[in-house]
Structure formats: C-alpha cells, structure tokens
Amino acid sequence: MRLRVEDVEVELNSRRILKGVTLEVRKGEIVALLGPNGSGKSTILRTIFGILKPVRGVIYLNGDVLNSTDVEDAAKIMGYLPQEHSETNLSVADVVLLGRTPYISINPEKEDYRIAWEALKLVGMEEFAERKFSELSGGEKQKVMLARIFCQETDFMLLDEPTAHLDIKSQIEVLEMIKRITERGKAALVAMHDINLALNFCDRVLMVKNGKIIHAGKPGEIISQETIRDVFGVKAEILKDNGRIFVVPVGIE
C-alpha cells in the first residue's frame, strides 16, 4: 500500500488552488495535513479521491496511475470521509451499510449486512444500530461515519477533519479507532485542525499553506516556532515532554 501524489496542480474558476503538491503515504501510516482554513487540505483529499481533476501532475496508488475519473471505482480503493454531512433520519445501520454501496448492484445482501455489523462493532456502536442517525451526538455520528468508511474495506482512507466539533474524549476515541485500523496494514491521510492531536497521533505531518506543502516530516523533526509561524502566522511556545511535543499558541505574529 503506497500512495504517491506527484506535482499535482488543481484549478478552480481559473484560480490555481493547489500548486505543485507532492506527498507520499505508506502502509500502516497516519499522515496529517495541517494548515489554516482555506489552505487546501480538503482540496488535496478531494483531488486524490477524484472529485476534483488536476490540471497537472500524477497520482499513483501502489505504483499504478490512479485514473480517478470514476467515483464508482475510486470508492472501492479509497474510503473518503467528507467534512460535512446532511442530516438524515436513516437508521445508524443503514448509514453504515451505505459504505457497501460500491459493491451493491440494487440492494445490500447478507454479506453486506455482516460486514456492516462488524464495522459497527469495531467502533463500539452496535447498540445504536436501530437508532435514527439524526438523533446521535456529534461524537457518535463521527464514529458511525468511521464505521461506514471501514465497511468500504479499502486499504486507504482520506479523512477530512474527522475530529471537528467533537469533545476531547470523542476526539481521542475517533483517532484511536483510526489508529487501530491503520495498524492492520492500512493507511490514512487526515486533514486536521488540532495541532497537538495531530502531533501525538500521526506518524508524519504535512504542513499546508496557500495550496502548497511547505514543510513535511515527523512531528519531532518539523515542529518549531518558525514552522508554526510560517504556516499559521502565530507565535507559539513548543513544549517537549518524554518525546511528546505540544504547541501552545501565545499570540499573533
């Protein structure tokens, strides 16, 4: 499992929104995309999945060029979790089952129900199966969404701010689930806002600004007052404790 994005450029309304993005995600890794609002994190994820078409550059998955013109094919090799979703009164079980859509011709079959049930158990939400999705809390909804991704059974996950709007406990629960899954030989590219969560849960960090990746590396290697100022435009203290790194913003540059 290896995803490689090479020198990808994307335009929207003739404005270049990704400029020469190159990145790599390997088996077993969780890689974070960190950057301010509008920096291009979501655009990178959407381009890899094939919703946006690059005007330049190539995306490889396991050495093969990813011809991302067809979302039906893309959904069989990549699990993409968009940031926003509409409210629905579908049951939790039905929402999870939607992850089986790429394999369903008309309606889900027994095997699809079994896989969806396993995914629900994996996120600890099996007791909620019959509940309406719209009645769940933010954290519960996000776990259900993860179960939906898991039951797509893809090796590679693209997650757009899976911890946004969640309380601290739910944030950690969600990230630990992602970690458990990637440890089984999968990989994830995750757009995140919370720098400290990203530093402590992800193997590598890609720092994005103005549609470019300007710093990339392991958390311990690239996080410094300078790189935080470069990317976010804030003054920050960097604390280190037992190999863990914490960024404490103290003011605006």
Partner 1 sequence: MLSKRPMFLMLGIGGIVSFVLSVSIGSSDVGLWELMKILSGDYGTNIESIFDYRLRRTILATLVGVSLSSSGCAMQSLFRNPLADPYILGVSSGASVGAAVAILTGHGTSPEIIAAAFISSLMAVYAVYSLGKKSTYFLLLAGIAMATFLSGVTSFLIYISGESLRQVLFWIMGGFWTANWTKVKVVLVTAVMGTAVMIFNSWKLNAILLGDEHAMSVGVDVKKLRRVIISTTAFLTAGAVSVSGVIGFVGIIIPHTARLVFGEDNRILIPASILLSAAFMPAVDVVARVSAPGEIPVGIITSLLGAPFFIYLLRRKRYEAQG
Residue type, 129: A
Among 99, 162, 211, 219, binds partner 1 (CB under 8 A): 99
Taking the least distance from each CB to partner 1, the nearer of 44 and 222 is 44
Among 61, 68, 143, 148, binds partner 1 (CB under 8 A): 148
Does residue number 128 form part of the binding site for partner 1 (CB under 8 A)? no
Q: Which of 76, 101, 40, 244 is nearest to 156 (CA)?
A: 76
Among 89, 110, 242, 251, binds partner 1 (CB under 8 A): 89
What is the H or E stretch that residue 241 is in?
Answer: strand 234-241
Does residue number 91 form part of the binding site for partner 1 (CB under 8 A)? yes
Among 28, 36, 57, 102, binds partner 1 (CB under 8 A): 102
Taking the least distance from each CB to partner 1, the nearer of 51 and 216 is 51
User: Which residues make Cβ contacts (< 8 Å) with residue 201, sequence separation at least 6?
Assistant: 30, 32, 175, 176, 178, 179
Taking the least distance from each CB to partner 1, the nearer of 2 and 132 is 132
3-state secondary structure 43-81: HHHHHHHCCCCCCEEEEEECCEECCCCCHHHHHHHEEEE
Among 84, 243, 250, 252, binds partner 1 (CB under 8 A): 84
- Rounded Cα distance between 150 and 66, Å, is 21
Measured from the CB of residue 101, what is the shortest distance to partner 1 in angstroms? 4
Taking the least distance from each CB to partner 1, the nearer of 46 and 209 is 46
Cβ-contact 49, 68 below 8 angstroms? yes
**CA 142 to chain CA centroid, nearest Å:** 12
* Interface contacts to partner 1, rule CB under 8 A: 49, 51, 70-76, 79-82, 84-86, 88-91, 94-95, 98-99, 101-102, 104, 106-108, 132, 148, 152
